[in-house]
Structure 1
Amino acid sequence: MYLCLSLHQPGEFLCTCVDLCYLLTMINVPFFTAGNLSDLASTSFGRYFFIDQAMTWDNARAYCRTYHTDLASVRNKTENAMIQEAVGENRVWIGLHRYTWRWWSDGTYHSFGYWADGHPVNITESCAATVINATHLGKWVENNCNEKLHFMCQNSE
């Protein structure tokens, strides 16, 4: 859901995305102008969209649910490769979160895994990011959910 307010200039609006249901609290996503909303999802790969804006995991999820379907769920190696191609040498949020690492944010069961060696290990980190660099090569690591990272959204098929 999003809320837009008219500014003084004709055709200019200030918008914010909100998720009214998450843990019975309201999560405000940073403000976006109507002119740059589509610019955030400028790179698409199949059903995935690389969002070139750093947000916390919760805010990234709210953004994806407003403008796409959800944070990216990765079902197989082919889809993981699409995400690797999209993000370059970045660490980005994907939709996996701690519930014994079994559920994607869209509610589907986590049957495919591409964890980096030794991960997940940190019991204090509850969200997953994929890391594209010489060490991890697109494998997943657990991450602090409050860290601001770029992220991958998906559209339903």
Structure 2
Amino acid sequence: DVIPLISSSSQLTCVHLSLAAINDQKQYYLIEQNRTWEDAQSYCRANHTDLAMIENEEENRNVTTVRREHKTWIGLYREPWMWSDGTNSSFRNWMRRAPDNQYEQEHCAVEHPDHRWDDQDCSLQGHFICQGGKKNLNSLRNISNCSCVV
């Protein structure tokens, strides 16, 4: 199941409570399939752009627009910590005492339902967030049965 999570600002108002869309922002998709971090990355690259890369506070707010019950893979991995596409950013949203690299096996990042990040063993399976790149949404558009109006 693919659930679009989206972006910020007041460009579009979405009737569905957990979805929104915005002009010229990254579009995020919650994928409710269990996969390892590497398999999630492959899925996102084949079907979207990449695993979610949350590079600043605004993008972090955009990703938090959908409530979810499980932690989800995001595109951060290490050493040193960098995004799935090989870029780096100084923005981090770690939970308290993270990252801790427990048993020296936690090299990938997950986002918890409270939207804080933690490191986790990359071979574990979980849901994940893909990003679809920049979208230009200047007109009325339906996203997964969600009527959005300008």
Question: In 2 relative to 1, CA 87–100 (structure 1 residues): closer, same or farther, beyond 3 Å?
Answer: farther
Question: In 2 relative to 1, CA 87–62 (structure 1 residues): closer, same or farther, beyond 3 Å?
Answer: farther
The number of residue pairs the alignment matches comes to 113
Specify the alignment match of 2:105 in structure 1: 124
Name stretches of at least 5 consecutive residues in structure 1 with no aligned partner.
1-39
Q: Render the CA deviation track for 1:54-97: whole Å, top value 9, x for unaligned.
A: 11101000000000010000011222122222242320000000
CA RMSD of aligned residues (A): 1.4
2 CA distance for matches of 1:128 and 1:120? 9
Question: In 2 relative to 1, CA 64–72 (structure 1 residues): closer, same or farther, beyond 3 Å?
Answer: same
Check conservation: 1:73, 1:95, Cα contact below 8 A: yes
Q: Which AA in structure 2 matches 1:43? A: P
1 CA distance for matches of 2:78 and 2:67? 23
2 CA distance for matches of 1:59 and 1:109? 21
Check conservation: 1:50, 1:87, Cα contact below 8 A: no
**How many percent of aligned residue pairs carry the same amino acid?**
38
Alignment partner of 1:109 out of 78, 82, 88: 88
Specify the alignment match of 1:76 in structure 2: 56
Q: Describe the SS at the equivalent of 2:72.
A: strand
Q: Which AA in structure 2 matches 1:42? A: I
Deviation, 1:43, is: 2.6
Q: Which has the higher helix share?
A: 1
> Which structure is richer in relative contact order (CA contacts within 8 A, separation 6 or more)?
2
Specify the alignment match of 1:143 in structure 2: 120
Alignment partner of 2:42 out of 59, 62, 78: 62
Q: Describe the SS at the equivalent of 1:155.
A: strand
Specify the alignment match of 2:4 in structure 1: 43
Name stretches of at least 5 consecutive residues in structure 2 with no aligned partner.
8-26, 135-150
Specify the alignment match of 1:32 in structure 2: none
Whose Rg is larger?
1
Check conservation: 1:71, 1:95, Cα contact below 8 A: yes
Check conservation: 2:5, 2:63, Cα contact below 8 A: no
2 CA distance for matches of 1:107 and 1:100? 10
**TM-score normalised over the length of structure 1:** 0.67
Q: Which AA in structure 1 matches 2:6? A: F
Check conservation: 1:71, 1:105, Cα contact below 8 A: yes
